[in-house]
Amino acid sequence: MNIIPYTDKHHKFREKTRAFIEKEIIPHVDQWEKNKIVPKSAWQKMGREGLLCTTIPKKYGGPGYDLLYAVIVAEELARSNHYGLHAVLHSDVAAPYIYTYGSEYLRNKYLPGCCSGDIVSAIAMTEPNAGSDLASIETMATEDGDEIVLNGSKIFISNGINCGVAVVAAKNPSDKSPYESTSLYVVESDLPGFIRGKKLEKMGFHSQDTVELFFSNCRIPKTNILGKKGMGFKMLMEKLQFERLLCSVQTIATAEFSLAQLLKHQKTTSVSGQPVPRTQSSQFALVEMATEIKLGKTMLETLIVDHMAGKNILKETSMAKYWNSELARRVAEGCIELHGMEGALESFPVVRAYRDVRILSIAGGTTEIMKGIIAKEMGI
C-alpha cells in the first residue's frame, strides 16, 4: 500500500529530477568533494531545470508545487551520495522564510533569484555559544533611523560561501525574554560588514560550504525584517517541523542507497571464483537493515501525509528525526562491516555516506534535543 498519494505528475517529476541528477550532478560529485565546494553554476543549472524552490508560487518565479515535490528533490539528491549541494536548505527552509514572512517587496526582490539559482540562500541561527539553545544567541540588531545595524557572529552556516542572502536571527535590545526579542532579517552577503570567516573542515559533508559568518556594523534597511519584530523565535519553531522531516527523508534515502550499494557489490563480486558466501549471519544482518529502513520509511511517509494535512506532529517528527538519522548510521556501518576490508576504501561509496550520516543526527537538532522534545510532549 502506498502511504504517500503520489500522482503521475509526481512520478514524472521524479524521473526528470533523477535524470538531471545523473547527468549534471553525479559525474561531478567526487571533484566537488575534493574542492570542498559546489560551484554556483550547479545551482543555476538546477534552477533552470525547475528543481529549486519547488513550492514557491509562480508569481515569484517558482513552479508553485505541493510539498511532495520538495520531498522528491530531497530524496533524489540524497541518492547522489553527497550533501554538498544543499538545495534542501535553500529551497525548503531559507527561501520559504522569505516567502512566508517577507513583505511583498522582499518576496519580489529575492525569490525569483532563489528560484533560478542565481541567489543561493542560507539560514544563520547557530552561534559559537548558542547551538541547541538558540535563546542564548548574542548577535544584536540595533535600530538606527531607517536602518538596522547587525553585530555578532554565527558558526556552522551551510551555503555560507555561495549565499547571496542569509536569513539571520538576531536579538533586539529589550527587557523582554529572548523568546520575545529575537527577530529574523534578510541580509545580502555583499554588504559592508557581512564577513565570511573560515570554511569549516568537517568529517563529512565535504562539498558543503559550511562557514563562520561575522557581522560588524552591517547595515540593512529596516524593511528587511521578516514578520513582526520580536517574532523570530516563533517563526523558527514553525518552520523546523518540515526541515526535520526533510532531514529524515534524506537519512532514509541515504540508508537505502547504502544497502543497495552493498547488495550490488555482493552480486557482482566473487571470492575465489565463487559468489560472496551468504552465511546465515550475513543474511540476517541484511534482513535487519532492510527491516529497519522499511519501518523508518513507513513512519516518515505517514508523517509527511500528516504534515500536509496540517496536523500537529511535533512529537512524531522529533522521533523520526532522531530515529532515522541513527538508523542510517547503523545501516552504513553494517554495510561497511559486511563488505570486508574493501569496505574501508574510499572507492566504496558507503564510506562517504557513513561520514555524512554521522552529521545528520547533530545538524538540524541533535538526538538529545529531539528526545527532550518527545519527553515534554509525552508529559514525562
Rounded Cα–Cα distance for residues 65 and 202 (Å): 34
For ligand FAD, which is the closer residue by CB, 302 or 366? 366
- Helix H or strand E segment including 327: helix 314-339
Cβ neighbours around 144 below 10 Å, total:
10
The residue type at 158: S
* Nearest distance from C-beta of residue 279 to ligand FAD, angstroms: 37
For ligand FAD, which is the closer residue by CB, 152 or 364? 364
Catalytic residue at 368?
no
* Nearest distance from C-beta of residue 227 to ligand FAD, angstroms: 18
Residue 368 within binding range of ligand FAD, rule CB under 6 A: yes
* Residues 6 or more apart in contact with residue 80 via CB below 8 angstroms: 21, 25, 26, 29
- Helix H or strand E segment including 247: helix 232-268
For ligand FAD, which is the closer residue by CB, 159 or 343? 159
Asked if 255 contacts 328 with a C-beta cutoff of 8 angstroms, the reply is yes
Q: What is the DSSP string of 95-110?
A: HHHHHHHS-HHHHHHH
Residue 101 within binding range of ligand FAD, rule CB under 6 A: no
Coil, helix or strand at residue 177: coil
Residue 185 within binding range of ligand FAD, rule CB under 6 A: no
Rounded Cα–Cα distance for residues 209 and 159 (Å): 5
| Binding string, residues 54-93; x marks residues near ligand FAD by CB under 6 A | -----------------------------------x----
Cα torsion 111, 105, 177, 312: sign: negative
Contact pick of 163, 236, 319, 359 for ligand FAD (by CB under 6 A): 359
Residue 138 within binding range of ligand FAD, rule CB under 6 A: no
| Binding string, residues 105-134; x marks residues near ligand FAD by CB under 6 A | -----------------xxxxx----xx--
Residue 338 within binding range of ligand FAD, rule CB under 6 A: no
Residue 369 within binding range of ligand FAD, rule CB under 6 A: yes
Residue 153 within binding range of ligand FAD, rule CB under 6 A: no
Q: Which of 212, 243, 292, 316 is catalytic?
A: 243
Rounded Cα–Cα distance for residues 178 and 345 (Å): 47
Residue 372 within binding range of ligand FAD, rule CB under 6 A: yes
* Nearest distance from C-beta of residue 198 to ligand FAD, angstroms: 14
CA 315 to chain centroid, in Å, comes to 20
Asked if 90 contacts 133 with a C-beta cutoff of 8 angstroms, the reply is no
Rounded Cα–Cα distance for residues 292 and 328 (Å): 9
Contact pick of 263, 290, 314, 362 for ligand FAD (by CB under 6 A): 362
Instruction: List for the chain the helix, strand, coil content (%; round to 5).
Output: 55, 15, 30
* Nearest distance from C-beta of residue 2 to ligand FAD, angstroms: 32
* Nearest distance from C-beta of residue 201 to ligand FAD, angstroms: 11
Report residue 308 as a C-alpha cell: 500536509
Residue 157 within binding range of ligand FAD, rule CB under 6 A: yes
Catalytic residues: 243
Binding interface with ligand FAD (CB under 6 A): 89, 122-126, 131-132, 156-158, 202, 205, 210, 359, 362-366, 368-369, 372
